[in-house]
Amino acid sequence: MNPLRAPWSLRELVTGSAGGALRRSRERIAETEPALRAWVELAWPEPVAGGPLGGVPLGVKDIIDVAGLPTRCGSGLRAGSPPAAADAAIVTAWRRAGAVPVGKTVTTEFAFFSPGPTDNPSAPGHTPGGSSSGSAAAVASGQVPLALGSQTAGSVIRPASFCGVAAMVLSHGRFPVDGVTGLSPSLDSHGFYTARVSDLALAHAALTGSPDAAGLPARPPRLLLWTGIAGPAMRAALAVARDRLVTAGAVVEAFPDERLIAELTAAHPVVMAYEAARERAAELARVAELSAPLANLLQTGARTPEAEYRRAREFVRSAASAVSDFLGSYDAILGPAAPGPPPEGLAGTGDPVLSRPWQALGVPQVAVPGLSTEDGLPLGVQLIGRAQEETGLLTTACWVERALAE
């Protein structure tokens, strides 16, 4: 048995008592952090109660401001940053829901590819993914029951798949990004991690005031199956998932236009690079001090003609209309959350390619854990829904989670 993996259910915590949660979190971090290295800063506030979450410990990705803590963005350029004067808007919203930030979690440099030191608690010696690596590992290890990430390409969904936990990316623009060091204004979205999908539903309800999707009536869903460029292990897992869902009563039909999604996938990095070069202009001016992946992104974006960027944005807009039409009589799109299991080693973070098309559209996504390779490495699937319809997507995801577990 792997002693580093012990996801902590938010629902079990909140429906019991959140009393003592900070102490439990502190003890688990002390026990596992020397091996995992998921945090860059810890700060233990006085226990507080209030809000629907009642004082649960919260990890915050280190590109998101927390008052009193520095935001270093995983970069030497921010090594001497002073503490943030105020919380980011999204942190304020989570505090209002009753969550208590206990520290900053490891991110790749400015939420791009250069990895931090974090190991994968579900597959030690394999990457936890990026860029929200610290938050995913903190939840998978049971250091905290809830942690924040952000996604511009695949920075929430891929780490969830690699670490074997649940995660949700909110619709683009669902909450403001004030106080977040972003890369691409038209792509940056908020996300969060929990142990299971039913915990995501509880957290989303607490954050937004929406109904708890885990308690809503759910019928077997109608799903469109998209396979993308999944590798052999993930394709086998998708086949298993499809069979279990159909057996449980779901309708699963092939996505009608995989070529459209491939073209959407190709448009995403054009938009990302162009906007990143302008959003991170100050860092571009110090490009020699950046990691090679980030330097290449910013330099590529600086060379990208505006006309190419506008064509990519226009293609995304037309594709959004087509995908919305495809979803007309379906509840969600089912697909792989990553090309395969977490790659071995900590020098890379894996490939975000299977999140790029959905992130370009700005639609909500849910990573559903529970599948694995024959030798036990995590494999996650994802569900993609309609923009601004998070509660409906979570209702479907809760049904899928239960069916996969049977």
Catalytic positions: 61, 131, 155
Quote the crossing angle between the two packed helices 306-326 and 258-279, to the nearest 10°.
Answer: 140
Angle at 54 between CA 48 and CA 57, to 5 degrees: 75
User: 126 pairs with which residues across the strands?
Assistant: 344, 345
What distances in angstroms separate CA 400 from CA 12, 222, 377, one per listed residue?
A: 20, 11, 20
Question: What is the enclosing helix (H) or strand (E) of 199?
Answer: helix 197-208
Q: For residues 44 and 217, give the distance between their C-alpha atoms in angstroms, rounded to a whole number.
A: 39
Residue 53: strand, helix, or coil: coil
Residues 6+ positions from 65 with CB-CB distance below 8 Å: 71, 84, 86, 87, 88, 91, 179, 180
Residues 6+ positions from 279 with CB-CB distance below 8 Å: 182, 183, 184, 185
